Amino acid sequence: MKVSELAASGGFRALALSDPSREIAGCYVGDLLSWVMGRAQAGNAWITIMSNVNVAAVASLADVACVIFAEGVQPDEQALAAAQTRGINLIATGLPEYEAAVTLSRLI
């Protein structure tokens, strides 16, 4: 499934789609950024509730397909701006992390 298709699915919405045709391969859930940086796989959709600019940096370093902000969390302005200029896809959902992962699992 492409990131743009996920963003158009019920319960998810696009915050920044700089690379909408990126294919999602699997999912990683985590909020401790240093931990995520070493474990998320390239192409994963990364579900988190962290919202600062470091999220965009870790997303870039781990080369994830997109970041999904769970529980209605909004990334801060710096994170949003960084994602837009660096080809990082950001998606929002009101679902908690577990439900977001389960929903994503049914879709991909």
34 binds other proteins, rule: CB under 8 A: yes
Using CB under 8 A, which of 13, 21, 23, 32 touches other proteins? Answer: 32
56 binds other proteins, rule: CB under 8 A: yes
What is the distance between the alpha carbons of residues 12 and 23, in angstroms, rounded to a whole number?
16
The burial of 98, by beta-carbon neighbours within 10 Å (0-12 exposed, 13-18 middle, 19 or more buried), is given as exposed
58 binds other proteins, rule: CB under 8 A: yes
57 binds other proteins, rule: CB under 8 A: yes
35 binds other proteins, rule: CB under 8 A: yes
Angle at Cα 9 formed by Cα 106 and Cα 51, nearest 5°?
95
83 binds other proteins, rule: CB under 8 A: no
33 binds other proteins, rule: CB under 8 A: yes
Using CB under 8 A, which of 54, 96, 99, 101 touches other proteins? Answer: 54
User: Using CB under 8 A as the criterion, which residues of the chain lie in contact with other proteins when the complex forms?
Assistant: 32-35, 37, 52-54, 56-58, 60-61, 63, 82, 86
